[in-house]
């Protein structure tokens, strides 16, 4: 059996990250992990989120314990592990030595779409809440640690041509392309985090990647200022798209 290929995908919220988890989870050779540092981040950052009690009860609160669990043997015949990470969950003081055993990929999305989507679920929209500065820091960190430029994928480009982008991504990650990544059965999945009932309503009804995106939403006031700040980070990472 080939050694396990552990893939860490770094995304901000509302980036289509759960759809990507669905895509990888549809592979017969893959075990998916949903936002493993969520509870540890809530405790360390002193944050309060929807379904707080359920999240804290469902995961280790100690980041070192999370890291150990990520590197545990994979279940059954799985040879690929897909870790879905939120960039803002990875606080600078959290351990990153475990990351040496992973291949890293960064999922980005135009900030106008992120902000509009995030505002429908949460009242407070800020640059840090949507994870753009943290994503830039982690990209530079992984590039420095590995000596390689991590592949980047953009949500809009995936929706425009999922087969092409995912085929290129699989090549960059050195895993075989699997046609099953293009579709899945609707409904909850065993890997879904305890917070899924609040966040995953659209994904639970999905059977694939859906239509190509429409025009960018027009933002006003503070949201427009946040978009302007995030756009510089988005455009810097976009140049490394697979």
What average pLDDT score do residues 62-69 get?
A: 96
Q: Using the predicted structure, report yes or no on whether residue 20 has a pLDDT greater than 70.
A: yes
**Would the pLDDT of 2 be above 80?**
no
Tokens 């639970």 appear where? Answer: 204
19: left (phi over 0), alpha (psi -120 to 50) or beta: alpha
Residue 215 pLDDT class (50, 70, 90 cuts): very high
Rounded CA-CA distance 144/195 in Å is 33
Cβ 107 vs Cβ 58: under 8 Å: no
More confident residue, 120 or 185: 185
pLDDT surpasses 90 at 159: yes
* pLDDT per residue as tens digits for the range 163-197: 999 999 999 999 999 999 999 999 999 999 999 99
Q: Is the pLDDT reported for residue 153 higher than 60?
A: yes
Pairwise CA distance, residues 59 & 86, whole Å: 15
* Radius of gyration, CA atoms only, the chain: 17
Rounded percentage of the chain residues whose pLDDT exceeds 70: 99
Q: Cα 149 vs. chain centroid, distance in angstroms?
A: 18
CATH of domain 5-238: 3.40.50
Contact of 105 with 135, CB cutoff 8 Å? no
Give the per-residue SS3 of 73-134.
CCCCCCCEEEEEEEHHHCCCCCCCHHHHHCEEEEEECCHHHHHHHHHCCCCCCCCCCCCHHH
pLDDT at 91 over 80: yes
Residue 120 pLDDT > 90 = no
Please state, rounded to an integer, the average pLDDT across all residues of the chain. Answer: 95
**pLDDT given for residue 220 in this prediction:** 92
Task: Give the integer Cα–Cα distance in Å for 163 and 158.
Answer: 8
Residue 121 has a pLDDT of 79
Asked if the model's pLDDT at residue 13 lies above 80, the reply is yes
204: its two tokens: 């639970």
Residue 108, beta-bridge partner list? 154
Q: What is the pLDDT of residue 124?
A: 77
Q: What integer is the mean pLDDT of 214-220? A: 93
Output the CA–CA distances (angstroms, integers) from residue 89 to 103, 119, 163, in the order listed: 18, 19, 29
Q: What is the domain partition of the chain in residue ranges?
A: 5-238
- In angstroms, the CA 33 to CA 156 distance is 23
Share of the chain above pLDDT 90, in %: 88
For residue 205, what pLDDT is reported?
Answer: 97
Q: Is the pLDDT of residue 134 over 90?
A: yes
Predicted pLDDT of residue 1 = 53
**Nearest CA to 30 among 155, 173, 226?**
173
In the chain, count H helices and then E strands. Answer: 11, 5
């Amino acid at each position: 059996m080939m050694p396990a290929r552990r893939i860490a995908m770094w995304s901000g919220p509302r980036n289509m990250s759960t759809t990507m988890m669905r895509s990888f989870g549809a592979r017969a050779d893959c075990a998916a992990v949903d936002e493993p540092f969520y509870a540890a981040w809530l405790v360390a950052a002193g944050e309060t989120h929807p379904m707080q009690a359920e999240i804290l009860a469902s995961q280790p609160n100690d980041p070192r314990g999370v890291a150990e669990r990520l590197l545990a043997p994979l279940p059954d015949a799985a040879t690929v592990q897909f870790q879905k990470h939120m960039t803002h969950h990875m606080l600078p003081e959290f351990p990153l030595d475990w990351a040496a055993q992973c291949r890293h990929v960064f999922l980005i999305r135009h900030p106008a779409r992120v902000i509009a989507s995030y505002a429908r679920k949460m009242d407070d929209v800020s640059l840090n809440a949507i994870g753009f500065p943290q994503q830039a820091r982690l990209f530079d960190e992984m590039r420095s640690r590995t000596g390689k430029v991590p592949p980047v994928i953009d949500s809009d480009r995936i929706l425009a041509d999922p087969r092409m982008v995912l085929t290129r991504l699989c090549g960059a990650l050195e895993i075989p392309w699997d046609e099953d990544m293009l579709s899945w059965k609707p409904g909850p999945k065993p890997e879904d985090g305890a917070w899924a009932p609040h966040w995953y309503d659209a994904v639970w009804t999905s059977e694939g990647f859906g239509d190509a995106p429409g025009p960018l939403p027009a933002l006003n006031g503070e949201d427009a200022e946040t978009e302007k700040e995030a756009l510089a980070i988005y455009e810097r990472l976009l140049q490394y798209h697979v």
